[in-house]
Amino acid sequence: MSGKGYSVKAIVAMCSGRGIGKSGNLPWRLRKELSHFAKLTTTVEQEGKKNAVIMGHNTWKSIPEKFRPLPKRINVVLSRSVKDLGDNVIVCASLQEALGVLGETPLKNDVESVWVIGGSSVYAEAMSMCDAIYLTEVLKEYECDTFLPELPAGFKETNDDPNVCYDVQEEAGVQYQYKVFKK
């Protein structure tokens, strides 16, 4: 838990070559995995609170317009050039600014967890600040142009989150497995 009163977590799906994206999209179509993402990033333990999702501008653009902003979450987009993305979206110039805004009034009493959801440069900056990293390991190689950096030292794989099924899953002929790493 950070000093701001919320925990910071990253959530990401990557293929066996550490790829996380291709041409601004996910290289795979796994509906159940997307449902897992939605469940984890919306579930709160304290009534009246919400989770926040922090993403880079390219990740924001990769979400189909009809699903933006992501519902039931406080959406924060990092961009140094775009200043406004409409109602219900907070735009910040940096990750530090975003974490600061979420830790200040009026939001500090509303936020339970902050989920970093991409892209690659946001993960690279945020991972050392995370309390946990929720990783979907897609057990197949895909052609990708965006990759997940190595996890920082100090993270250990656990299987203690009751919201995660740790067995190998299969969908559309693709196997994948959920993993959780905590400090």
Annotation says 33 is catalytic: yes
Structure tokens at 182: 């905590």
Selecting among 30, 33, 40, 95, the annotated active-site residue is 33
The type of residue at 78 is L
Instruction: Please calculate the CA angle 28-30-32 and round it to the nearest 5 degrees.
Output: 165
Q: Which of 26, 30, 95, 99 is catalytic?
A: 26
> Distance (Å, rounded) from C-alpha 76 to C-alpha 110?
14
Catalogue the active-site residues: 26, 33
